[in-house]
Structure 1
Amino acid sequence: MAPSYAFNAVDIFLSDIMNIDAPFGGKTMILGGDLRQVLPVIRFANRSELIAASLKSSNLWPYFKVMHLHQNMRTGPGEEEFSKWLIKLGNGELTSNEDDEIELPSSSFSNLNHRFQQLLNSSSLIFKLELNTLTNESMNIYKKSLIINRHKILSINFSLTFDIDIFYSLFPIDSSLTHLGSLVFERINTNVLISILAKLNSLPRLFSIKIGTCWTLKELSIVYQLILALSMLKYYKLSSYNIDLTNSLPMIANKQFSPIKYLLMDHCSTFKELSAILSYTPQLCHLNFMQTKKLHPNTDIISPITLSNLKHLSIHAHHLKFDEFEIFISQISSTLKVLFLSTESEDINYLDAILWEQLILKYMPQIEKFDLRYYETIYEDFESPTYFNEPHHFSTSFWIERQWIFEAEISGSAIIYAIRPYKKRWYEYMEDDIDKSSIEFSESIRLSITYNLLEESYESLIMDINRVLNVTLIHHLQTPTDTISIDLLIQIILLLPQLNSLKMNSLSLDQSTNAHSKEMTMLYSGSKKCKITKLYLEMMDDIEEIYVLMTLCPYLAYFKLNSLYDTDAQLFLRNILAKITDGYNDQLRSIYFQVPAADDVMVKRFKKMIDDEKLLNNYTIKRVVDYIHLKVK
């Protein structure tokens, strides 16, 4: 059942569009459904909160006229008894036994086999087969069903090993498979694969093949030659970590081109081997390529290739240097729109914004989406490489105009530097009048910590943050999904004086001592140095945690709390506003917190409390789905 706030959202939306103060903007709404169905699903809500979220509890319900339908139009001959039984079930009129079980009517499934057979024989039915196991019994069933339905098979997914004779006894490959468009093979050996691929040209509509294996595929060049010879194939993906192109394909010498448009090579290969394959695919528009071998300057020579339709290029490289990547890009003539590059190379030129600007303007001027992941592996006795004289160069007009931003992530085993298209951050959904200026884009660098923090890892985390600061300034911080101690949080804040926003799961005060440790005292004495204006807390155990965070962040303007389940929402809001009234955080302008049972009555109650106790003068308060948004003007 749809929750009441969904209808309220439609009501507000239509009223705004029509500019009419009437339910649903004066539009006639026709709803169909059964109020005996399950109540709306709300996390951690009790029964009264679930009922309060139902449509019948909405202030819109009185505007609806209820009409009852009495004739079941989907009941077939002989199913009247079952239809009446369903009505009694919904009305709660059926009796149950001592185990709270309800007996099904005897006629419920009497006609099931006949109806299932009718379904199989239906002319509109298509088959998508997924074979995980193959016993003698299941083979006989497949044979009987598939002999008369071969023309209805749309796709086959083989996730098992099989003998080639068994395969052909089940699926003789010929032109009678008129609708077979997709084949997927998992765990297949080379001989069986080659035997099958050699017969696929007889299929008139085969457009997609996926091959996934954890085995070593030998003679892969033969596999590619057979794949590239298929006259209708548009999509091909081969995935394995144990594949090696032992015999490279020759560059194409005739005009026997492949129609493939999507090529996903998730296996080891070099640019030279890729170059040979691409010479067969002039219509290619999407390429995914994995490079795991070091290039040899004397042998890995890349020939120029024209791929006029290539729009999307994705490369996962392990030993690729920046200048080697530049050579590859320079040899492909295309109108690239999307570039995704992931590399574990130790070449720090990947973090040089000037080199990227020059490369993009020269060889990829039409690119619209750029996504770079540069992995710096952390190991014992790891020494961070020396970067540039001044941190971060990805803030010029070139990057701001394209809205490509620089970010960093500490995962525990690696530091990941990324350049990716900008996406709205959590705080932007709280700011109704937000204007993304060039200054804000240049100060949008976020650091994410994505592994659970143990006390013994605090020191290494601080070292990793310092490594990141050698590359870039940090303006936004996102901490792990577990609890962070106040002591560690203070150390991090002191390291990041440019920090503007903080998103965290929960705060622990238990690990601090006395007045929240010496670091807390130090920060209090110089708290005006902390520039955090936006704070997002996933959950709260005690209101004291909020007080500490408000003290840490004297310039706080936006505060969001995502889970206010076991706390009195009205008391919570009163305490926060009392802090503001007493002179703390006088710049706080937006408070956003989640209450599962939020409704318009709750909003009115909050407003009455604020007005009666004179907590605020000029403000607005409203409900956004199950959030309460208070905005101080």
Structure 2
Amino acid sequence: MSNIEYSQVGFMTNQIRGKLYKLSSLNNAFLFIIIQIATYDDKKMITSLENLSNDLLYEIFDYLDGGEIYKAFSNLNRCFQTLITSPSLLLNIDLRLQSENLSHYRSTCIVTPNRHRITSLSFSHGSLYQSGLAFCNIDALFIRLESLILDNIKSQQLLPLLARLISLPRLFSLSIYYSDHRSEITNIYQASFNLPVLTHYKLQCSSLESSIPLLTTGKHKFSSIRYLVVGHCCSLDDLIAIVSCTPQLSRLTCHEVNRSRTDIAKHVYNTIMSLTKIFITRCYAEFNEMETFLTKIASQVKVLHWNCFRDVTYLDATRWERIISKNLLHLNLFKFQFSINIDENPNSTGSHENRIDFNSLFWTKRIRDFRIYLDIDSLQKNIIVVSVNSFRVGIMLNEIQITCLNIMRRNILVETLVNLVKSLPNLRVLIILSLLLKDLKYSNLKKTTNFHLASTQNQITKINLKDINSLNELEILLDLCPHIEYLEVNSNNTVPPETIVRFILIEKAKSISNLSLICLQIPLENVDIVNKLKNILEIEQSFYNVTIKQNSDKIYLRLNSL
């Protein structure tokens, strides 16, 4: 043991926070914490842990499981034996994923004698049997227990346990991962809602069915829950019944919401004034039903994340505008996603895309940092995903214009791109990963009113095409954006750079007279490309005087009109 003055130790404890290293010994299963500190003469040394203050040791122990603390420091010496048995040291115990012998030891030798010092306890169906932890042992003696996690618990174990938890004075958080009869979910909710000080509650089960008998309003006491996670499928009327039991609810997360089994328009609702954040992972309920839920129950919401399916009326921007401006007056973050099944014929999506019209004054004046994404799902090629992502909704003094559209997923439909360009007239920059033509008759598309309006009204001057598969894609972009000044294309073996240059400078030059700079990203092995391009420009008759420069894998062509 190092001989260190007490005053030195006090100085050094202020220097070592953030320099803790936890090592597990493979030989003796003890946990060692090695702390490297500096003395006054700047020499490095290692001191023994018992020289550190109790406050710092408690801070270290906060990072460790209670069982690991006992394993590492029990009977090590008198100092640590006194420390780990002190009422001031609170324990976090996790009995999950333990061997039978270890689970039994920790239950009988650590949990039972230290019930009054445990603040967090986690166990599973298997650990109950391995440890011999009886339900009667989880009682009012757990006076410090604040968080309880029950993993893979059966109803015959869970319901008696929930009844005993009522006696716990500080149980604020309860997470249940349930794997038994769905018919008991109603009883589980009712028993959980009886817990007197519960504020965080999560019930998760693997059921794929929404026809689960849940609560009916008016037959139970109100819960103190503020943060609720409904981690299973349920119908919208079931969800309404659940949140009606939680008048202090602040944040709601739901795994999956399906259509109501009853006519919810006939129900009487109480607005939950404290409900400010809603996150719905998968919503299959109709827009009419969800509008009722938002406007009747959650009108105070500030943050809304919503992933919807099937009902295309969710794409009605005018309806969203009316709901937000008249009923959701406190909304300041709106994140909405809708997934559509599409046929092989790309024209089948036209009616859906025409609904995506976020070009009113509401969206341009009241939405700060507003974004729209259209993605083709990478796993299911027949799914198109429409994402509307807006941050900080609120009245603004000056109009915010959407000037840059970055489409990050592959193979966006050309019709979709045209509709987006038409709906966002202030665009200056367009970045696309790749276009999807799909037997498109371009001559017919070019004659449509949509294409004419989009091409004549947009102000796009910069285009970046990340992946080109044919010259048709480039032709469409140049016709759609005739005011282009800067073009960047990632060329490849399918469409080599010399083909791109010949097409732009010889065939399309008259229609894109503002183009002044082309950037071609090329394969590094293509070392002779500059000479090839110069030869092309010397042989072919061009409308430009072209200066060519290469920088690593990029070639820049500056165009000056003759």
Q: TM-score range by the shorter chain?
A: 0.5 to 0.7
Query: In the alignment, does 2:400 pair up with 1:419?
Result: no
- Alpha-carbon offset, residue 246 of structure 1: 3.4
Change (3 A) 1:221 1:535: farther
Q: Determine the C-alpha separation between the residues in 2 that align with 1:336 and 1:545.
A: 61
**Structure-1 separation of matches of 2:519 and 2:154:** 52
Q: Which residue of 2 aligns with 1:368?
A: 332
**In the alignment, which of 156, 160, 165 is matched to residue 200 of structure 1?**
165
SS at match of 2:133: helix
Cα deviation 1:239-284 (Å, max 9, x = unaligned):
2331656333121257x32110111112111121122222221111
1:446 partner SS: strand
Q: Structure 1 540/203 Cα, relative in aligned 2: closer, same or farther at 3 Å? A: farther
- Superposed, which structure 2 residues align to 1:394-433 within 5 Å? 394-400=358-364, 401-403=366-368, 404-412=370-378, 413=380, 414-422=383-391
Change (3 A) 1:312 1:299: closer
Structure 1 unmatched ranges of 5 or more: 1-30, 34-65, 79-108, 424-435, 451-460, 552-572, 587-633
Match of 1:143 in 2: 108
Partner residue, 1:351: 315
Shift of 1:70: 3.6
Partner of 2:42: 69
Please give the alpha-carbon distance, in whole angstroms, between the structure 2 residues aligned to 1:152 and 1:216: 34
Query: Aligned letter for 1:410?
Result: I
> Cα deviations across residues 32-85 of structure 1 (Å, max 9, x unaligned)?
89xxxxxxxxxxxxxxxxxxxxxxxxxxxxxxxx9842474834699xxxxxxx
For 1:172 and 1:351, locate their aligned partners in 2 and report how far apart those are by CA, in whole Å: 54
Secondary structure, in 3 states, of the residue corresponding to 1:146? helix
- Give 1:408's aligned amino acid: L
Counterpart selection for 2:280 from 315, 324, 338: 315
Aligned mate of 2:404, from 444, 451, 463: 444
Structure 1 residues 333 and 510: alpha-carbon distance in aligned structure 2, compared to 1, 3 A threshold: closer
Kindly provide the amino acid, as one letter, of the partner of residue 421 in structure 1. Answer: S
Q: C-alpha distance in 1, partners of 2:328/2:180?
A: 37
Aligned to 1:54: none
Residue in 2 that maps onto 1:477 = 431
- Displacement of 1:487 after TM fit? 3.7
Q: Identity, % of aligned pairs?
A: 22
Counterpart of 2:493 (choices 486, 510, 513) is: 510
CA distances 1:85-119 after superposition (whole Å, capped 9, x unpaired):
xxxxxxxxxxxxxxxxxxxxxxxx99994477566
* TM-score (normalizing by structure 1): 0.58
Q: 1:244 to 1:544 in 2, by over 3 A?
A: same
Q: Distance in 1 between matches of 2:159 and 2:127?
A: 14
Give, as a single letter, the amino acid of the residue that structure 2 aligns with 1:418.
Answer: S
What is the aligned partner in structure 2 of residue 230 from structure 1? Answer: 195
Question: Relative to 1, partners in 2 of residues 1:407 and 1:229: Cα closer, same or farther, differing over 3 Å?
Answer: same
Output the CA distance in 2 between the equivalents of 1:405 and 1:470. Answer: 15
Partner secondary structure for residue 133 of structure 1 = coil
Return closer, same or farther for 1:324/1:479 CA change in 2, 3 Å cut-off. Answer: same
Please state whether the residue corresponding to 1:148 is helix, strand or coil.
Answer: helix
- Structure number with the higher strand fraction is 2
Q: How many residues align?
A: 441
Structure 1 residue 388: deviation in Å?
Answer: 6.9
Relative to structure 1, the CA distance from residue 547 to residue 142 in structure 2 (aligned partners, 3 Å threshold; closer, same or farther) is farther
Do the aligned residues in 2 keep the contact of 1:272 with 1:302 (CA within 8 Å)?
no
After superposition, the Cα gap between the structure-2 partners of 1:532 and 1:396, relative to the gap in structure 1 and judged at 3 Å, is: farther
Instruction: Judge which range, 520-529 or 537-546, deviates more.
Output: 537-546
CA distance in 2, matches of 1:530, 1:143: 83
Q: Could you tell me whether the CA contact under 8 Å between 1:341 and 1:371 is conserved in 2?
A: yes
Distance 1:69 1:168, change over 3 A: same
What is the SS of the residue equivalent to 1:421?
strand
Q: CA RMSD in A?
A: 4.9
Structure with more contact order per residue of length (Cα contacts < 8 Å, sep ≥ 6): 1
Residue pair 2:203, 2:231 contacting (<8 A) in 1 also:
yes
Matches within 5 A, 1:42-53: none
Partners of 2:334 and 2:102 in 1: CA distance: 52
Q: Deviations over 1:339-368 (max 9, x none)?
A: 111101242x22222111111112111111
Give the secondary-structure state (helix, strand or coil) at the position aligned to 1:236.
Answer: strand
Whether the aligned pair in 1 keeps the contact of 2:215 and 2:242 (CA below 8 Å) is: yes
Q: Cα 1:137–1:418, aligned 2, differ >3 Å: closer, same or farther?
A: closer
What runs of 5+ residues in structure 2 fail to find an aligned partner? 1-13, 17-38, 52-71, 435-464, 535-548
1:368-391 superposed Cα distances (whole Å, 9 cap, x missing partner): 111101111346667633337967
